[in-house]
Amino acid sequence: MSTTETTQNTPVDTTAARHAPLPLGPKIAYGAGSFVDTVTNNALTVFGLFYFTAVCGVPGGSAGLALSAGLVVDAVLDPLIGSVSDRWRSRLGRRLPFMLLGLPLAMVAFVLIFSLPAGVSATTLFVMLLLLSVMLRLSVSLFNLPYLALGAELTDDYAERSKVAAWRWGLGMIGALAAVLIGFGFFFKGAGGLSHRAAYAPFALTCAAVATVGALIAIWGSFKLRHRAHPVTEDRSDWLRALLAGVAEIFRNRSFRILFGASALFFAAQGVAMSLGLHANTYFWRLHADSIKLVTVAYFCGLLIGAPLIGLVAPRFDKKRMLLLSVCVLIATQALPATLRLVGWLALEGRPLTLLLVANAAIGGLALTAAAIAASSMLADAADEHEYLFGHRREGLYFAGWSFASKVATGGGALIAGLVLEFSGLPSGTAAQAGIEVVLRPETVAVLGLAYGPGAALLSIAGVLLMLLYRLDRSAHTRILDQLAQRRAAG
């Protein structure tokens, strides 16, 4: 396998480049590309289900089905995107062409999904939501999967990968926090602001502009860093056979199977909790708009602040231990407050309750940051192990498989959330029809709190148990890199 390529008529040793530290500027430029996924996904997760059900009047089960269907269809096609990008050859490299195609499609779909028309039937709204959900998820994947795979190619160093993941996560959380602040701070502020239907389209346009700026910076930075990419070792012929063989091959790697299953459980838990977040804050905790904003912003501040902190300490710790510890903390923040409320041991109201939930949300965000950085870096390590075991680089398929797990699980979480709303008896169009101060039956409130808190945490607990089987640590990864270097030098 050749490790020398030519960039601008200058021979470049790609192996040496990947072992050299990545400068700060390129890390920031690359990390800005995470805006595409985090801005659109978090805007949809935080505001979407509330907008579709409480504002537009789509039944909870139908809205959950449409959102989850978009994720599932996208997830099924993710391996194809990853496989084709792994084998693509062009003057721009194998990742950038897909990023350039996916960006405009994603922004159009994102704006349209928050611009559903009034005065049409629930069936028409469901069909529109279903089609736009599929379009949005597919186009975001066209950008994001090659983008993530490129990140695994920027460095081969065990510790440096955690730093790259931390910058990507931290900048992504800036985008996510921007979406939340844009919503609560400008378009949905004030009493009943979330029920103002006309505010959602300009909100989406503003978020799309933020995501586009980040994406263009990342595209420029990725073009400058293309000399670090691994060379393409397979041709583009017989793509279907290669896709099926590649998918079967990645599931032969034990490390990938464990990461895949555990991630699916973690993402399902987050899908349930985040999709029900606004409903729980409004109807379970009975918070006013300003308090909801504080709790939501605190969560994203925890996500953001966690990135530089975890980026500093992650290289000093084993990734598996960091992941397990952070998920255990996350489980506590998910389960404890709602459980204590349900059993009558948490009677706080007003400002004291808001402060408690703000602190809990910030700690949960910090823990999720640590877990996400560790998992992303572990996946890149598993891709190295894959080359050692099978002789092929599969970064695109690895991140596509991880994305498949996350999207199916998050879609399942959104579906569960929609079914919970339907089962609990929460009427659709609640905010638009009666305002957010509507009084619900105690049974409805209890079901909402049970699913949002301890119910979601049970899925995370199952993920922790599965991660206990993971074995690829720092020393094993170092041995693998040494073996790969010897192979490349000999070949």
**At 364, which CATH number?**
1.20.1250.20
pLDDT at 18: 60
Owning domain of residue 325: 24-226+236-490
Strands 10-13 and 4-7: antiparallel
For residue 213, the tally of other CB atoms under 10 A from its CB is 13
Q: Is the pLDDT of residue 135 over 90?
A: yes
Query: Rounded to an integer, what distance in angstroms lies between the CA atom of residue 481 and that of residue 491?
Result: 15
Query: Rounded to an integer, what distance in angstroms lies between the CA atom of residue 409 and that of residue 389?
Result: 28
pLDDT tens sequence across 62-84? 888 888 787 778 777 777 787 77
Among 10-19, 80-89, 195-204, whose mean pLDDT is lowest? 10-19
Q: Is the pLDDT of residue 315 over 50?
A: yes
Taking residues 429-455, what's their average pLDDT? 75
pLDDT at 420: 85
Give 50's pLDDT tier (boundaries 50, 70, 90). confident
Tokens of 88: 């693509």
pLDDT tens sequence across 457-479? 999 999 999 999 999 988 888 89
Q: Are 127 and 269 in contact (CB under 8 A)?
A: no
Total-model pTM? 0.70
pLDDT tens sequence across 31-42? 999 999 999 988
12 strand-pairing partners: 5
Residue 1 lies in a domain: no
Residue for token pair 């074995």: 471
Residue 191 lies in a domain: yes
Residue 465 lies in a domain: yes
pLDDT tens sequence across 327-357? 999 999 999 999 999 999 999 998 999 999 9
Q: Is the pLDDT of residue 174 over 50?
A: yes
Query: Rounded to an integer, what distance in angstroms lies between the CA atom of residue 305 and that of residue 298?
Result: 10
High-pLDDT (> 90) share of the chain, %: 32
pLDDT at 5: 45
Residue 297 lies in a domain: yes
Structural domains of the chain, count: 1
Query: Rounded to an integer, what distance in angstroms lies between the CA atom of residue 491 and that of residue 485?
Result: 10
Mean pLDDT (the chain) is 84
Residue 14 lies in a domain: no
Question: For the range 472-476, what are the long-range contacts, defined as Cβ-Cβ under 8 Å and sequence gap of 24 or more?
Answer: 472/255, 472/378, 472/381, 472/382, 472/385, 473/318, 473/319, 473/320, 474/158, 474/318, 474/319, 476/385
Listed in sequence order, the residues at least 6 apart from 265 whose beta carbon sits closer than 8 Å to its beta carbon are: 409, 459, 460, 462, 463, 466
Residue 2 lies in a domain: no
Residue 89 lies in a domain: yes
Q: Is the pLDDT of residue 12 over 70?
A: no
Residue type, 385: E
Residue 15 lies in a domain: no
